[in-house]
Amino acid sequence: MSAEKKHPNVPTPHITAKYGDFAETVLMPGDPLRAKFIAENFLNDAVLVNNVRGVNGYTGYYKGKRVSVMASGMGQPSIGIYSYELFNFYGVENIIRIGSCGSFDKDLHARDIIIALGACTNGNYAAQYNLPGTFCPIADFSLARRAAQLCEDAGVRYKVGNIFSSDTFYDDGNSGMQWAKMGVLGVEMESAALYCNAARAGKKALCICTVSDSFIYPEENTTAEERQNSFTAMMKIALELA
């Protein structure tokens, strides 16, 4: 049977790749330029497989293993679309988000890593499932455990715990520090939707974030160029996971 008959939704409105163009594991930064940086600096024989709306997707090889990297854009609706299509239409089994985040934690500094075991959210993404309660979006434990071990082996400073996936970057008078009272380590904008999609599809997902900004140490905050090109420790850990 042809790929077209087996996968009638491919290509999608957002991804023009053919079925089979993506590897089993996809690394997913938010920034398309970070995806391009990873493809050009870490993958061998990387091929551009998607560029709809400038959302670069590449497939190549890392240490002989076929790996893909594609941007998610910003926010839960954006990563919700791309991860849903990859999981459900392109046969992807694992998505590893490699993003940046703000830190609420006094023990975390710029360029430290958060491995998001769970994702709190102020968003409404999980409402679509009509569950009789509150769903807790969580990472795949096998990926999280392996990521923590890779951080240990590499001597990278990290913490494992909850992250906050916010639907708003500019909150009206809310700094987000209320979440720190509950032990939440930091804030980003995508993980909860990714974890929901993985759970619903029966697939695996993990969010690894590099601290780009700190609510505790604002003097350490990084630039856009640094976020794009210098968070290589996180990139290498994700590639080793793949």
Q: Which residues are catalytic?
A: 213
Positive/negative CA dihedral, 126, 137, 37, 105: positive
Beta strands in 17-112 (DSSP E): 25-28, 44-50, 57-62, 65-70, 94-103
Report the C-alpha gap between 167 and 216 in whole angstroms.
22
Angle made by CA atoms 237, 191, 134, in degrees to the nearest 5:
140
Residue 11, preceding peptide bond in cis (omega within 30° of 0):
yes
Which of 196, 170, 192, 166 is CA-nearest to residue 179? 166
